[in-house]
Structure 1
Amino acid sequence: MQAGHAVLRRVAREEDRRGFHYRDRVARNTIYDQFAEAYALHSEHSPANAYYDRPAILGLAGDVSGRNVLELGCAAGVLSEQLVERGASVFGVDREPKMIELARRRLGGRARFEVADLSEPLETVAASSVDLVVASLVLHYLPDWEPLLTELDRCLVPGGELVFSVHHPAADWQWFGRPDYLRTELVAETWPVGGQEVSVSFYRRPLSAVFEQLHRCGFVVDTVGEPRPLPELNDLSPDAYVELSSKPVFLFVKAFTVG
């Protein structure tokens, strides 16, 4: 749900670099509740979100006209709106009620939004009712993807697609200076949002863990993307453009079910 590296987001603290090893809990962050409106404004316009992540997600999603799309971690509905404008029927879920309120305010009746925790079953989504699932920068808050991926396999039609972005494993490993690349662990960093420094935690994992979990849950990988940002970012923010063009910031994946 948030943006890239050095010039884009990160102010690391020494205690953040130690990492944690709490495999049994979801990373919970107050930023998306206490700073909902400030975060929503930031993510709508930040270089990594507006000129890199969302365009890449939409590119992998392709033609969504007439498709039933489930958006995980929809936040304030910016990506939801872009999907709706492309003809999709969108159902967005987020664990933060304030984010859902902002999304409903933004789109009115053009899309459906509900509060849902991705660590729990998606009880409001019927089996084989979704053509496409999109998850922009949200899966790295989960310690284990398999329960959610199993649930998505239930929700998707046969051959249905999953398009997602996460922090690039190489970037997080390098940034946090962790001694064991192959370990999945909870890490934290500080983001400047709404004039304050806010601590945010998420799970760092190796590249192999991303694809092993997809495979075990019956997904076949179609595309792995490491794109460049939109060219117009170079005029708006040359530093951000150079960073997003030359470093592994996010990883983009498109996979499909075979059921």
Structure 2
Amino acid sequence: MGAVTVDPESPEAVENDYDTFAEAYTVENDTNLINAYYTLPAIVNLAGNVAGRRILDAGCGAGPISVALRDRGAIVAGFDRSAKMVELARQRLGTDTDLRVGDIAGPLPYPDGAFDDVVVALVLHYLKDWTTPLAELRRVLKPGGRLIVAVNHPFVYKLMYPEADYFAITKWSEEYTFNGQKAVLTYWHRPLHAMADAFTAAGFRTAVISEPPPAPEARELFPDQLGKFASGTPLCSLFFVLEAI
């Protein structure tokens, strides 16, 4: 999955309209390195033993993380801003799973303390302001519950744009090809300290910061991609386990 820089102010930089490329994105991400063999196993490993735990998949997409957690005994619910993504998730999870169309940037349609854990994987980096989303995610968690987060690694932006100000919260866009279909994704870069400050202000304690290796089988499946990294681990995402206090 290659990427070329797109001017965030250009007309083609449509902001994250997943309804227009949901199926292509799902086909691509079911088998690619970053989603299927890196983010998914990392989230599952960080979640640990989830049997009997009520887990909200915030920004669930087509539901691969929800499926993996349900298969390990979790009671899952999920929402996504894209109605098409929620439709694809329903095809995987069935009608007995609570799946809704909803926006992480607004009030969430769940009662206080409804979940033991919330997973928000590769979602927060689409948002400039984390204040309301984190407050809502904290609200729907039980005291002591966990927020498991995956975001773009903040150093990636600086590697891609060496002249950029790492410490500034900055909007940027990339064009991708998902299963033959072009799409633009727009992100907000924020430095690590800004992430940590936002988590603390929302009432979370940082328990884990992780830069995990990919799934073991990834080394044989993606030798060219992983060969670019001496450690065999792609520099793309940063993972957190946060505890609601």
Structure 1 residues 178 and 84, CA, compared in 2 at 3 Å: closer, same or farther? Answer: farther
Name which of 128, 142, 164 aligns with 1:143. Answer: 128
For the Cα contact (< 8 Å) 2:19–2:84, is it kept in 1? yes
Name which of 4, 22, 26 aligns with 1:11. Answer: 4
1:57-68 alignment to 2 at 5 Å?
A: 57-68=43-54
**TM-score when normalising by structure 1:** 0.88
Deviating beyond 6 angstroms after TM superposition, the runs of 4 or more aligned structure 1 residues are none
- C-alpha displacement of 1:175: 1.0
Identity, % of aligned positions:
39
1:198-213 alignment to 2 at 5 Å?
A: 198-213=183-198
- C-alpha displacement of 1:236: 1.0
Distance 1:190 1:137 in 2: 16
Q: Does 1:87 align with 2:87?
A: no
SS in 2 for 1:125: coil
Distance 1:226 1:256 in 2: 18
1:1-259 alignment to 2 at 5 Å?
A: 8-13=1-6, 15=7, 28-30=15-17, 32-122=18-108, 124-243=109-228, 245-258=232-245
Q: Which moved more, 1:238-247 or 1:111-120?
A: 238-247
Amino acid at match of 2:100: E
RMSD: 1.8
Amino acid at match of 1:11: V
SS in 2 for 1:164: strand
Distance 1:246 1:158 in 2: 34
SS in 1 for 2:5: coil
Aligned length: 240
Amino acid at match of 1:200: L
- C-alpha displacement of 1:110: 4.8
For the Cα contact (< 8 Å) 1:61–1:163, is it kept in 2? yes
Q: Which moved more, 1:147-156 or 1:177-186?
A: 177-186
For the Cα contact (< 8 Å) 2:212–2:233, is it kept in 1? no
- C-alpha displacement of 1:177: 3.3
Distance 1:249 1:235 in 2: 19
User: Which stretches in structure 1 are left out of the alignment for 5+ residues?
Assistant: 1-7, 20-26
Structure 1 residues 101 and 228, CA, compared in 2 at 3 Å: closer, same or farther? Answer: same
SS in 2 for 1:12: strand
Amino acid at match of 2:235: P
SS in 1 for 2:209: strand
The higher-RCO structure (CA 8 Å, 6+ apart) is 1
For the Cα contact (< 8 Å) 1:75–1:100, is it kept in 2? yes
